[in-house]
A and B are shown apart, each in its own frame.
Chain A
Amino acid sequence: MITDTKTDSNFDVSTAEINKYDFRNEEKYIFKARKGLDEQIVHQISDMKSEPDWMRDYRLSSLKIFNQKAMPKWGGAIDLDFQDIYYYIKPSDQQGRSWEDVPEDIKRTFDRLGIPEAEKKFLAGVKAQYESEVVYGSLREDLAKKGVIFTDTDTAVREHPDLVRQYFSTVIPNTDNKFAALNSAVWSGGSFIYVPPGVSIEFPLQAYFRINAENMGQFERTLIVVDEGAQIHYVEGCTAPMYSTESLHSAVVEIIVKKHARCRYTTIQNWANNIYNLVTKRAVAYEDATMEWVDGNLGSKLTMKYPAVYMMEPGARGEILSIAFSSAGQHQDAGAKVVHAAPNTTSQIISKSISKNGGRSSYRGLVKVEDGARKSKSNVVCDALILDPQSRSDTYPYIEIAEQDVTIGHEASVSRIGEEQLFYLMSRGMSEAEASTMIVNGFIEPLVKELPMEYAVEMNRLIELQMEGSVG
């Protein structure tokens, strides 16, 4: 049964909207591992998934690396007790192929979040992950016939072992950072996508990640391989209800974009304000391939996320568009990383951040051009909008250039909502709150117009919710 945190029948529409994502289900799980992290837990996860030995060994070696690695010394303050987290919760004993197969309470959760409706309207395939496991998955038949694989990563390990083994952990090794090591040890769920050469998927594929339990850690693992000349747009959304203690979301996303292929990965995250969102996302792009990250970060207590593109061969392109919105008690440490490892590679980073009610947004970005990556071009634009004097914005741009023959641009701006802009809009009948929202929506418009229509509407709506009560 759905336990709504709001039971008052008189609450107004705006309150109901704010709480759209903030509802909890009673915990009815097939299996819930005990709290804490050690070899036994890792074995348990591997057992539950009946994994091949290579994956079990990989998990165990990753756990060792996790234990040895120090916490990152930069970014935000992480105050987490790793022994006070549930690392694995299995909500259902099977994955639904049709919506009817999904257990009733979970189905209602995703109904409330609008997932099946969205699928009917504009998606080519959907995965819905609840706690540790994907509970629902579908892919349009015509795409399956063309050889497209869209499944959860656990199933992929069982059903496409050669393909997974060929690419898994090649873009982000478990030694990359502490949280990548943690994910590698306890990962569960996530999407595996393979697009065969020349296949172009017109509609987006979508995954939806939902944390329900308190003190839960969600560690999905996504691997996308876009073969030569293929095209794909993948979209993910994430939400969780609000609890009094922190939960952890630590995903790893690896993407391989081969010659002449194109991949766009769009994320809109709207976590509750007590989620640590520590994610490693990286793509490699080969000859004339294009990789685009579109990344919207709302909510969470701390987000540390820097989608990366490594341009490995001539003509590769990387583009990263990111928005961060931070409010009271939130720190968004977000940015981007581009590595030019071949000649004639091009990258663009556009970052927009908004801080209000004492929130803190930081842009942290790296542009690296390796020796020999001649005629490479990179352009970075980061704009920050600060809504009140309590809020804060920082910019940490790192540039490492080992090649002379390159074109690098960097622009940064910080602005406050101007009195003149507010007055202008108010003189046209807009209330102060409406005027502020309009200015903020205008500020992020360059990113929003890149989103699929439904997401653009959702993004504007989320901004409006974030803006409520920000004035006066």
Chain B
Amino acid sequence: MISRTGEMTDTLKITNLHVNVADKPILKGVDLEIVRGETHALMGPNGSGKSTLGLAIMGHPGYEITSGSVELNGEDILEKDADERARSGVFMAFQRPVAIPGVKMADFLRHAATNIRRPDRKEGEDLIPMREFRKELREKMGQLKMDTEFARRYVNDGFSGGEMKRAEILQMAMLKPKFAILDETDSGLDVDAVKLASQSIAEIGREKMGILIITHHDKLLEHNIPDKTHVILGGRIVETGGPELAQELHQHGYDRIRAAHPEAAAEDDKMKVEAAAAG
């Protein structure tokens, strides 16, 4: 896509995406297009497929794409492994990131940042120089009001909910992706922490990212006014609007949406029953 100033703008385009998890269809034809620099909100009831969309875009091996495409600037990234997707500029802040005991945040981030900035780097090749990296890391941690001690802790090991989320935002700040998916980065945070997260994301996003914010609330959107708000129900996007749609859903819930889209609502109920049966 060509922007008004005439330069090429990066685009993440999801077309008719169908995804199975453990052989059960979860996404049933999702279309979504994000232009770099835009902020989109993705909302929907629990179990409607929000996280699934993020994990499928990122390339989680447990999420099987049965049809459709995910294109970055016209190139389908579905054949790529997660590391190649990351190196091409896609990032996801996870809702529940796993712990990697024994691996220090600083070492992990230095490897990650080097790989993302030098996508052709082979294993074993030089990393970003230590001084340069430390300076940048300290700066970013300062912005996120994180103690420098944090860099010496093991990745997500024994982190509180709030620490995990801040660590994810720190990674986004260090890796400077073209597109970032934030999966419920506000869940489990208190009011002040959500505010800080919201401000930080806005600040980082100013470096021109395309952002997809998956959320239940409008708090994270306070500093990140969505250009578009999408509502997912029963594995499909059923409505797209502006920031007022996010506000409506936060205040009034999904009753109007369910009533307006009875088929998707029935699909949603069916998925919930199946999920409950699966345990």
Contact = CB atoms under 8 A, between A and B. Distances in A.
A58 B60 CA distance: 65
Interface in A419-468: 419-421, 423-435, 437-439, 441-446, 464
A472 to B, nearest CB: 11
A14 interface: yes
B75 interface: no
Interface string B85-106: 1110001101001101111000
B171 interface: yes
B115 to A, nearest CB: 3
A426 B87 CA distance: 10
A418 interface: yes
Given A420-B98, A429-B116, A430-B111, 17 more contacts: A419-B61, A424-B98, A426-B81, A426-B86, A427-B91, A427-B92, A427-B94, A428-B115, A428-B175, A429-B111, A429-B115, A433-B123, A435-B83, A439-B100, A442-B102, A442-B154, A444-B102
Interface string B171-185: 100010000000000
Q: Is the interface of A mostly helix, strand, loop or mixed?
A: helix
Contacts of A445: 101-103, 154
B111 A423 contact: no
B214 to A, nearest CB: 15
A424 B94 contact: yes
B86 A14 contact: no
Interface of B: 58-62, 81-83, 85-87, 91-92, 94, 97-98, 100-103, 108, 111-112, 115-116, 119, 123-124, 154-155, 171, 175
Contacts of A418: 98
Interface in A282-337: none
A178 B203 CA distance: 70
Interface residues of A, number: 29
A18 to B, nearest CB: 12
B171 A428 contact: yes
B111 A434 contact: yes
Nearest to B116: A429
B108 A431 contact: no
Contacts of B101: 442-443, 445
A432 B83 CA distance: 8
A430 B100 contact: no
A453 to B, nearest CB: 15
Interface string A256-285: 000000000000000000000000000000
A14 B125 CA distance: 11
Contacts of B81: 426, 432
Contacts of A432: 81, 83
Nearest to B107: A438
Contacts of A13: 124
Nearest to A418: B98
Given A429-B115, A430-B83, A430-B115, A424 B61 contact: no
A426 B82 contact: yes
A429 B100 contact: no
A439 B61 CA distance: 18
Contact of A442 (B87, B91, B100): B100
